[in-house]
Chain A
């Protein structure tokens, strides 16, 4: 039984069957990659997991509890954090403040005023935020505003914000999309480091096979809304069906 169980999930947009009958089981403390050509339904599936979309059929359970019908912030409170394809950070706030916010927001999501004390009066939280920035190697940029960062830095900042919450499951939507090779490699190293240091499960949606094969423990190939095959990276590489649907025409592996 995996930490995240997706059973028979289907989603239809008008006449388009975006997801057919998706079954997926993500095991705890592994990196599970979901790959597939454009329009395969990867992002739709991810949106169903975080509560942005509600699937028409099927069930999604996280750690035994259904996530369907819950609001995004409630799903996050269960321990699922998401890194977006276009980084969602607080552009008007400084890098430090960006990380301070998830540090203040405790897992229960309860409303806390904190209106009278100043931020400096909470050394635990400040230290934790600083540590997060050191982890993603962004501590020198802590006084810059979010919107002035480069795309790669924004992504790293977003990852730091997600990790500051100590999530059990981290969902990454194309974490290296639109990045230069060097930035991509940095991101891979960062993710590897996260995987080693923490008890964390990751689900990655990715186009870049280099990223997928250097990180994933298991890979699910999605095509036209249905999973073609699920296996280890080594087996996927040689799988004839996958080659036919996806790899063969895009990239030599």
Chain B
């Protein structure tokens, strides 16, 4: 299908189905079951998962394939958002030109940052990209205020020209749309004691995410992807094979910068507002954590990581002490206080602690990320709970047969 082999086609098909049915899948608990705060079916979260999935998939093209760990990808995310909002202000509220411009602009920024940063590798590369991102952040905050609107962030206003849309008499701000279909409109379906929300914005993000994911599969399987993995594996050999590695790494950097720009543009398309905070180093760190948590260098890993982190962020941060009290009300009074106090450290404001612990556990016990965990589970179920047998079995290729005693 579409130039993919059988396994990849099946894989892509699963991803498409999962994405299209997300509004159902993210609502496993009925509204009155008491567990409904674990549902993630509302448009905000689903959009974020799709958008950060794109961001992480793009980051993985650089980090997973070439091994260059960029700590400055948030710069492209922020750049994409600014570009998109400017497009909304000047041209039209239609999101298509906006996300196209955000990709182009962040691609250009990636060419500049990449060209300089890629002169170094390893930790020096990471620090250079981090420095560039922080520079972009500071500049967006201070000297570039005429463009970025500094601390307040770039917002729409009624006096914006919006050449293509023409002047409106309306006194409220226009909403982003795709050929007239508003991004924030949604169709609600009530069934099975749940409210399923089908949001235009989410489906738009989902379609873009699927396209982005498809392109990433093609890249991973192409000779170009192979070259990038070769760069990660052994640069010396690349050089002594007549290959200059720089164009390859730069191309990967620009592609992943464009993915980040696309994600930034989509963020702005969902909520037409761009602040300098989007360029902050914590945002760069977040995508690194997403990718490693899910599994760097794998196709599904980054999406999985983005999903888990955004879910934790949205769901765990909502569990406050009163929710915890309602959970543990059956415990004796003194004990209840203790248990609630302990759990409260890990939820609500403290959800970062849960994330940190999860990350630590995954990196320690599953260096390949969640994807490796899934693979191990698969093996477990396939071989009737005896996963160790094959791993421990001697590899005939490397274990010589014991020699017969020859006199």
Contacts and interface: CB of A to CB of B under 8 A. Distances in A.
Interface string A87-115: 01111110001001110110101010111
Contacts of B225: 115
B219 A115 contact: yes
Contact of B230 (A74, A93, A109): A93
B397 interface: yes
Interface residues of B, number: 31
Contact of A118 (B221, B237, B242): B221
Interface string A215-242: 0000000000000000000000000000
A118 B224 CA distance: 9
A90 B237 contact: yes
Contacts of B230: 90, 93, 97, 101
B239 A76 contact: yes
A81 interface: yes
B166 interface: no
Contact of B247 (A50, A111, A146): A111
Dominant SS among interface residues on chain B = helix
Nearest to A76: B242
A104 B241 CA distance: 11
Given A92-B233, A118-B222, A119-B226, A113 B241 contact: no
A93 B237 contact: no
Contacts of A119: 221-223, 226
Contacts of B239: 71-73, 76
B232 interface: yes
Contacts, number: 108
A101 B222 contact: no
A160 B237 CA distance: 13
A89 B229 CA distance: 12
Contacts of B4: 118
Q: How large is the interface on A (under 10, 10 to 19, 20 to 34, 35 or more residues)?
A: 35 or more
Interface string B226-245: 11011011101111111110
Given A72-B239, A73-B243, A144-B397, A90 B234 contact: yes
B226 A113 contact: no
B242 A77 contact: yes
Nearest 6 A-B pairs (CB), nearest first?
A: A76-B242, A111-B247, A114-B223, A115-B224, A90-B233, A92-B233
Interface of B: 3-5, 218-219, 221-227, 229-230, 232-234, 236-244, 247-248, 251, 397-398
